[in-house]
């Protein structure tokens, strides 16, 4: 549904400057709040004044004045909302006050991963020299303690005021966890050990949220009671309840590579199924107006209850809000424009939390629904079938195509892959997902009954297992996914321009649209080609920051060698080394252990001596191996790890690369010597580029 005039979608038009304002506030978080507020007040007063003096001042002769003022008002409102929402801009943020101890209220459900328990906590008070002061701010807390697994939402802790800023990404292509947390208004983290925390109270959270979390945990236990397979239980808990704690990485990868990851995030489709079920169950209330109103109120309340139960994620809130507006509109027989509803729901959510604009789920959810509303009718009109079944099948295909096309640039930008068989995957899961949702909801809604509950659990479990097997088959099929896609911001914006222009051309049939699309395509191809040429001609060495481990990448165009003490299946390798390889476009590489000799046309390694092209380096990773550096050996770079012994008299005219596995005192001693050095500990990876080899 493409609007022929902006008057048909006023909320969409008004949302755009508000989004631009929030983006400005996010880009310049330290903006002067008083300047923005003053500008907003001035524009608002002018706008109100012109409306009050509409006739005396003959404002109707210059209709553009209204738009010229309402857009700045909305823009500045978004900017102000983003600045005010940023916790660091508050004068009583805990990081700005001296403290020995902190009073922290647990505000999220603690999650256990490996041997750590993680959760966020709202800092309510700082304690310094026995005096308590009210404060604000969110702290990410990680506790390495078995007893911490018994912590719950709404408990209050007394912890030492020892916290640090979150580390930025140190290696190329590495996930920016610091920015991810900043988008959630979290800027500091604390690591605690046994005896460093004390439970100071309970019942400090929202009673409704506490009840919802406890209810969800009880429902997860009910699934475990009636099902056996742990993978099926994890998928059911995630798909129906939004409980992801037990979901394995292998399952996530299978759904991601087949383009069906969206079903593991409780979103619009799940909420729609709940709505259809409620609408059917309460159909006896149709007819009388008062009963219809009661039905609408009940459905809206239950929909939001389900949203609360599943964790209030951005896609769920969007779906719940849109369905609430649709139900309200239908109850009172009001005309409903889908784009206006979509924009209105986004407006409401962003007023509540402007930082939602940075949430990937929020972005993908709104893009997918927008694509369905605008592009799906265009795609559906490409083909027509007289057969009813074929027509419905093509309808499902058009939905999948529209959603995938509009979300592809953004998902490729964030996740660096494209599922080739997304259409097949989404078609084959339609029936299993419907069975899973209806069966799972029935199992959880009905009281525990030996025969019925076990039968529902059996059906639920085997539906999930069948779906997983089908998706696993698709995942391991040839060319199932195009991965290692690394787009720049300009490139993914160009992709969106191409998509929008092509679909608009299919709707309006105007020649300038296709010319504009081809121009954008040319710019996109030029950008990709330049990156390809640069990648194929680059020669570099990257010394990665892997903390206590070693990782060195030798890049020779699209080929490379990884020298590391980490195996490829290690999570640290996948988190830090693999993204560095992919982002540097090293498509053919071999991983060697530190003690293995290497003989290649561009790389020679014998013992701890390495020559890459015309540069020579020595790796001191084990103290007993080298007591000194032979004077006759020309060494350009010296890599030092594990506090290896170095004869300081023999390191002149060499660049020291000091790894993160060295102690702070050892690093301090080395850095006091008058030599060139690069410390990797708590710093970005060190890269020797092609220019160094000339």
Q: Could you report the per-residue pLDDT of 98-156, keeping only the tens digit for each?
A: 999 999 999 998 998 878 999 999 999 999 998 999 999 999 999 999 999 899 999 99
Confidence of residue 323 (pLDDT cuts 50, 70, 90): confident
Q: Which of 19, 14, 12, 27 is nearest to 356 (CA)?
A: 19
What per-residue confidence (pLDDT) applies to 598? 94
Q: What is the residue-wise DSSP string for 521-556?
A: HHHHHHHHHHHHHHHHH-EEEEE--BTTB-EEEEEE
Determine phi and psi for 245, rounding to 5 degrees: -60, -35
The overall average pLDDT reported for the chain is 88
pLDDT band of 625, cuts 50, 70, 90? very low
Q: Are 517 and 507 in contact (CB under 8 A)?
A: no
What is the C-alpha to C-alpha distance for residues 521 and 391, in angstroms, rounded to an integer?
A: 33
Q: What angle do CA 671, 677, 678 make, to 5 degrees?
A: 105
Q: Which CATH architecture has domain 539-693?
A: 4-Layer Sandwich (3.60)
Fold (CATH) for 94-205: OB fold (Dihydrolipoamide Acetyltransferase, E2P) (2.40.50)
Give residue-wise pLDDT tens across range 382-420. 888 888 889 988 998 998 899 889 999 999 999 898 888
Interval 259-308: pLDDT, tens = 777 777 767 778 888 888 888 888 888 877 788 888 889 999 999 998 88
Query: 3-class DSSP state for residue 322?
Result: helix
pLDDT digits (tens, 9 = 90+) for 533-564: 999 999 999 999 998 899 999 999 999 999 99
> What percentage of the chain has pLDDT greater than the value 90?
48
Separation between Cα atoms, residue 560 and residue 286, nearest integer Å: 68
In this predicted structure, which of 38-42, 353-357, 363-367, 621-625 has the lowest mean pLDDT? 621-625
- Ordered DSSP codes for 416-470: -EEETTHHHHHHHTHHHHHHHHHHHHHHHHSPP-HHHHHHHHHHHHHHHHHHHHH
Q: Which residue has the higher pLDDT, 136 or 630?
A: 136
DSSP state of 577: I
Distance of CA 209 to the CA centre of its chain: 23
Which is it for strands 655-658 and 637-640: parallel, antiparallel or unpaired? parallel
pLDDT of residue 181: 95
What predicted TM-score, i.e. pTM, was given to this entire model?
0.89
3-class state of residue 46 by DSSP: helix
Other C-beta atoms closer than 10 Å to the C-beta of 241 total: 22
Q: Where are the domains of the chain?
A: 6-85, 94-205, 210-483, 489-537, 539-693
Strand 138-143 vs strand 131-134: parallel, antiparallel, or unpaired? Answer: unpaired
Q: What tokens were used for 67? A: 């738009």
Beta carbons of 379 and 402 less than 8 angstroms apart:
yes
Q: Read off the pLDDT of residues 490-517 as tens digits, 9 standing for 90 and up.
A: 999 999 999 999 999 988 889 999 999 9
pLDDT at 632: 60
User: Binning pLDDT at 50, 70 and 90, where does residue 644 land?
Assistant: confident
**DSSP designation for 259:** T
Structure tokens at 348: 């409401």
Pairing of strands 655-658, 676-679: parallel
Q: What are phi and psi of 249, to 5 degrees?
A: -70, -30
Cβ atoms within 10 Å, residue 385: 12
| Calpha distance 378→132 (Å, rounded) | 62
Q: Measured between alpha carbons, how far is 174 from 94 in angstroms, rounded to an integer?
A: 29
Q: Which of 523, 496, 343 is nearest to 411 (CA)?
A: 496
By mean pLDDT, which of 166-175, 309-318, 514-523 is the weakest?
309-318
CA–CA distance, 460 with 455 (Å, rounded to integer)? 9
SS3 for 154-180 is CCEEEEECCCEECCCCCCCCCCCHHHH
Residue whose tokens read 């400090």: 204
Opening angle at CA 9, ends 6 and 11, nearest 5: 115
Residue 612 per-residue DSSP state: E
Contacts 24+ apart (CB under 8 A), 676-679: 678/543
Residue with tokens 């195509």: 401
């Amino acid at each position: 549904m493409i609007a022929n005039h902006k008057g048909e979608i006023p909320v969409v038009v008004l949302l755009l400057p508000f989004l631009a304002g929030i983006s400005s506030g996010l880009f310049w978080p330290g903006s002067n709040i008083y300047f923005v507020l003053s500008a907003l007040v001035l524009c608002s007063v002018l706008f109100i004044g012109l409306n009050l003096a509409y006739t005396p001042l003959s404002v109707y002769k210059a209709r553009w004045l209204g738009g010229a003022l309402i857009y700045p008002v909305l823009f500045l409102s978004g900017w102000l909302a983003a600045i005010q929402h940023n916790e660091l801009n508050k004068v009583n943020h805990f990081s700005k006050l001296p403290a020995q101890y902190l009073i922290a209220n647990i505000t999220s459900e603690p999650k256990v991963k490996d041997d750590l328990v993680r959760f966020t906590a709202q800092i309510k008070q700082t304690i310094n020299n026995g005096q308590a002061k009210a404060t604000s701010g969110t702290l990410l807390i990680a506790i390495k303690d078995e007893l911490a697994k018994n912590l719950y939402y709404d408990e209050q802790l007394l912890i030492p005021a020892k916290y640090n800023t979150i580390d930025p990404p140190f290696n190329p292509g590495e996930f920016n966890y610091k920015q991810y947390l900043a988008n959630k208004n979290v800027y500091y983290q604390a690591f605690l050990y046994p005896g460093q925390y004390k439970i100071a109270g309970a019942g400090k959270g929202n009673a409704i949220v506490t009840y919802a979390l406890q209810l969800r945990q009880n429902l997860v236990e009910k699934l475990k009671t009636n099902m056996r397979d742990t993978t099926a239980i994890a998928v059911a808990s995630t798909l129906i309840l939004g409980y992801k704690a037990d979901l394995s990485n292998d399952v996530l990868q299978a759904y991601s590579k087949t383009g069906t990851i969206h079903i593991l995030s409780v979103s619009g489709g799940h909420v729609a199924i709940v709505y259809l079920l409620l609408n059917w169950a309460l159909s006896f209330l149709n007819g009388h107006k008062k009963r219809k109103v009661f039905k609408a109120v009940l459905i809206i309340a239950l929909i939001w209850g389900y949203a609360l139960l599943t964790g209030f994620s951005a896609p769920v809130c969007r779906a719940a809000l849109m369905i609430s507006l649709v139900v309200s509109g239908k109850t009172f027989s009001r005309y409903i424009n889908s784009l206006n509803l979509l924009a209105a729901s986004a407006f409401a959510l962003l007023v509540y939390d402007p930082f939602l604009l940075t949430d990937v789920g929020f972005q993908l959810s709104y893009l997918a629904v927008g694509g369905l509303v605008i592009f799906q009718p265009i795609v559906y009109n490409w083909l027509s079938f007289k057969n009813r079944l074929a027509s419905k099948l093509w309808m499902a295909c058009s939905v999948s195509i529209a959603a995938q096309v509009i979300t592809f640039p953004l998902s490729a930008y964030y996740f660096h892959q494209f599922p080739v068989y997304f259409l097949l995957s989404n078609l084959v899961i339609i029936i299993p997902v419907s069975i899973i949702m209806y069966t799972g909801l029935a199992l959880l809604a009905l009281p525990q009954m030996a025969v019925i509950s076990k039968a529902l659990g059996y059906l639920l479990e085997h539906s999930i297992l069948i779906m997983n097997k089908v998706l696993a088959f698709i995942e391991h099929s040839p060319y199932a996914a195009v991965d290692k896609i690394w787009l720049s911001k300009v490139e993914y914006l160009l992709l969106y321009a191409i998509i929008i222009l092509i679909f608009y051309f299919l709707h309006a049939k105007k020649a300038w649209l296709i010319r504009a699309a081809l121009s954008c395509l040319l710019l996109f191809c030029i950008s990709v080609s330049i990156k390809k040429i640069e990648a194929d001609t680059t020669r570099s060495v990257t010394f990665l920051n892997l903390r206590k481990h070693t990782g060195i990448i030798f890049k020779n165009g699209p080929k490379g060698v990884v020298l590391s003490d980490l195996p490829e299946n290690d999570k640290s390798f996948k988190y830090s080394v693999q993204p560095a390889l992919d982002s540097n476009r090293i498509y053919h590489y071999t991983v060697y252990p530190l003690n293995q000799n290497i003989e290649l046309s561009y790389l020679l390694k014998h013992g701890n001596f390495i020559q890459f092209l015309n540069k020579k380096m020595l790796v001191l990773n084990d103290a007993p191996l080298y007591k000194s550096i032979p004077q006759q050996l020309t060494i350009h770079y010296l890599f030092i790890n594990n506090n290896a012994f170095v004869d300081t008299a023999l390191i002149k005219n060499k660049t020291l690369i000091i790894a993160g596995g060295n102690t702070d005192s050892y690093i301090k001693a080395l850095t006091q010597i008058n030599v060139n050095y690069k410390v990797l500990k708590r710093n970005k990876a060190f890269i020797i580029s092609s220019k160094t080899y000339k």
